[in-house]
Structure 1
Amino acid sequence: MGFGSYDESEQENQDFDTDLDDEDGVATSQADHRGDVNFEIGASNDELLDRLEEIKGE
C-alpha cells in the first residue's frame, strides 16, 4: 500500500455507538474555578527564549 491508501472493506464495516445518555456527560458546574492563581516566573522572556532554543537543540 502506498501513502494514503486504505482497505475499503474496513471503511464499510465500522460500527459506531452514537447512543449518548444524559448521564454520560460532565456537569460544567463541577469544573467551575473559584479562587486565585498566583505564580512568579522568575526569569525574563529572553532567558526563557534562550532556554527554549537550548531544549530544541538537544
Structure 2
Amino acid sequence: MGFGSYDESEQQNQEVDTDSEEEAVNVHETDHEGDIEFETEKSTDELVDQLQQMKDSE
C-alpha cells in the first residue's frame, strides 16, 4: 500500500507572511460584553434537575 511519492522540492519555500495587518483575523471582533436574560417557567431546582439528568445520560 503506497501513499504516493515524496518530493522534497514541494517542501521548499513554504514561508507565510504573518506581518500583514490587513489579512489578520481579529478574534475579538465579535466579543460581547453585557448581560443575557431569558425567561422560563421552570424553577431553579427544576433546571438543576434537568441538567443533572443530561449529565447522567452521557
Please indicate the TM-score interval, normalised by the length of the shorter structure: 0.3 to 0.5
More helix by share: 1
Structure having greater relative contact order (Cα 8 Å, sep ≥ 6): 2
Using structure 1 for the length normalisation, give the TM-score: 0.37
Using structure 2 for the length normalisation, give the TM-score: 0.37
